[in-house]
Amino acid sequence: MSSQPDLDHLQRRIGYQFRSPERLMLALTHRSFGNQNNERLEFLGDSIVNMVIAENLFLSFDKAREGHLSRLRARMVKGVTLAEIGREFELGSYMRLGSGELKSGGFRRESILADAVEAVIGAIYLDSDFYTCREQVLRWFEHRLEQLDLQDTQKDPKTRLQEYLQSRQFPLPIYDVISVDGEAHNQTFHVSCVLASLDRKTSGIGSSRRVAEQEAARSALKQLGVETP
């Protein structure tokens, strides 16, 4: 969040030493900070991460159809996943934000962290070459990619719970944040999921509100017998 963050520490965390540190600084600059910001780098990084993940999935799942591959890629490159990577690198501590975003906690905002991760990817590409950048992306996503299988192409728990309730003409679930623990760069969210018409309530824990809501929805599906424990 400082205007002059310690980039050496961050470069060690992400595993890449910039030849031109100003590229990394630009990748960490939100549009609220000024006209020179990370939006163009984000555009570039978004294209790169989509291509790298698509190639990896294509090679890893040689029997998967296009629709399955598309859903797997979407899971990998969605905002919540990118934001999780941003939190692992503590990017929020290095972001340059305008005063309004600082006051509203923008350094914790999922969309800002996700965009910054893409911008850093774009900056690495410009600072090196595609193959170096590709290796960085694969290393950042490595354990997530290893955990994937074709079962991951199903719809997420919140969507499945909503469709289950709608098909039976029940009211939609109500999600509420119970508490938020931890430091700004490493928070844990506790969320409840209330199914008023079925007199049921579950809870979920996650590194973001969205992740916690998904866990609460998954617990609700198990209670309803839609999914096995």
Annotated active-site positions, please?
46, 118
Sheet containing strand 200-206, strands side by side:
174-181, 188-195, 200-206
Q: Which of 119, 95, 125 is nearest to 38 (CA)?
A: 119
Q: Which residues of 104-139 are buried (b: 16+ CB within 10 A; e: fewer)?
A: eebbbbbebbbbbbbbbbbbbbbbbeeeebbebbee
DSSP string, 165-201: HHHTTPPPPEEEEEEEES-TTS-EEEEEEEEGGGTEE
**Burial status of residue 192 (CB atoms within 10 A of its CB: 0-12, 13-18, 19 or more):** middle
Q: Show the tokens assigned to 16.
A: 């890449």
